[in-house]
């Protein structure tokens, strides 16, 4: 888990999207569901980056399956 010294505590939504790869639409969905925490400063919405990273870390690991099996003796 990251510490406060590794990352800013709050980031703008465009910065959140850039740093995490989570889309803007999904970010607003997560904010509306109170999954992500934010603060409003004037017209800017700031996402709690540290809490957001903790939420990402708490998600289950991806299970990747191999779709096609390589036949013995075949060329790749």
Closest CA to 49 of 22, 74, 75: 22
Whether residue 42 is contained in a domain is answered as yes
Specify the number of domains making up the chain: 1
Please report whether residue 75 resides in a domain: no
pLDDT of residue 5 exceeding 70, the answer is no
Exposed/middle/buried for residue 75 (C-beta within 10 Å: 0-12, 13-18, 19+): exposed
Q: How confident is the model at residue 7 (pLDDT cuts 50, 70, 90)?
A: confident
> Which residues are paired to 47 by β-bridges?
11, 38
Q: How much is the pLDDT for 1?
A: 47
- pLDDT of 39: 97
| 28-64: pLDDT as tens digits | 999 999 999 999 999 999 999 999 999 999 999 999 8
What kind and span of H or E run contains 44? strand 44-48
For residue 16, is it within any domain? Answer: yes
pTM: 0.73
Where in the sequence is the domain holding 18, given as residue range(s)?
Answer: 10-56
Q: Is residue 65 part of a domain?
A: no
């Amino acid at each position: 888990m990251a510490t406060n010294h590794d990352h800013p505590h709050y980031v703008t939504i465009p910065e959140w999207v850039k740093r995490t790869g989570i889309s803007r639409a999904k970010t607003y969905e997560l904010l509306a569901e109170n999954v992500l925490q934010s603060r409003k400063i004037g017209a800017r919405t700031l996402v709690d980056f540290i809490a957001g990273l903790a939420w990402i870390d708490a998600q289950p690991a991806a299970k990747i399956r191999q779709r096609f099996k390589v036949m013995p003796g075949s060329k790749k």
